[in-house]
Amino acid sequence: MPDRLDTPLAQRRSLVPRFRLDEDAVGKATEAIARFLGTPRFLIYLTVFCLLWLAWNIWAPEDLRFDSAANGFTALTLMLSLQASYAAPLILLAQNRQDDRDRVTAEQDRQRGERNLADTEYLAREMAALRIALSEVATRDFVRSEIRNLLEELDDKDRGQGSTSSWSTTRDSS
């Protein structure tokens, strides 16, 4: 079937098969490489490699040398340039992934902060409502004072009638 313009691009056949990479796997690999490039171990390995390269090409027999000191160790310079040209984009890729993770983390922190603020405001409103509700509730001291006032009124009534009640005698004895 020939390519038709009314057929979606995903359904068209391609002459050259497309190579698809798992971006997450590539990203993890670049982060691992970039992380290794930033370690003291890598610097030690690179230093040992360069020292061995230089030592071999200076002190090895003339016919076994592969990089000339007279030419300024051109092969070594090219090797280090190649390593640097691959290291820079790998470090940038790893940095971009880290920026994406930081952006997601910042968004999650912002959302968490908004939820905490909403929860705090809700709790503050509830506490205010409880304070208002408790202001209408009789406290222990208020109830005691009211009972004392009632007892005094009863005692005054008993004294006004001239008779002693059993309540006042029991109360006076205690």
171 in a domain, yes or no? no
Residue 17 banded pLDDT, cuts 50, 70, 90: confident
Question: Token pair of 165, please?
Answer: 């009640």
Domain-embedded: residue 74:
yes
| 53 touches 76 (CB < 8 A) | yes
Q: Which domain holds residue 72?
A: 20-128
For the chain, how many structural domains are there in total? 1
Average pLDDT over residues 30-59: 94
Q: Which of 6-10, 18-22, 43-47, 86-90 has the lowest mean pLDDT?
A: 6-10
Q: Is residue 37 part of a domain?
A: yes
Domain membership flag for residue 78: yes
The pLDDT assigned to 112 comes to 97
In a domain, 107, yes or no: yes
Note whether residue 174 is domain-resident: no
pLDDT digits over 34-45, tens only? 999 989 999 999
CA atoms within 13 A on the CB side of 133: 6
Residues 76 and 54: beta-carbon distance below 8 Å? yes
Q: Could you read off the pLDDT of 65-99 as tens digits, one per residue?
A: 999 888 999 999 999 999 999 999 999 989 999 99
Helix (H, G, I), strand (E, B) or coil at 98: helix
Residue 38 pLDDT: 87
**SS3 state of residue 87:** helix
Task: Indicate whether 134 belongs to any domain.
Answer: no
Residue 168 pLDDT more than 70? no
Distances (CA, A) of 15 to 2, 3, 144: 12, 11, 96
pLDDT number for residue 11: 60
pLDDT above 90: percentage of residues in the chain? 59
Q: At 18, which amino acid appears?
A: R
The H-assigned helical ranges of the chain are: 23-37, 40-59, 74-135, 140-161, 166-173
Tell me, yes or no, whether 155 lies in a domain: no
* Strand ranges, E, within 71-139: none
pTM: 0.53
Summarize the confidence of residues 132-142 as an average pLDDT. 81
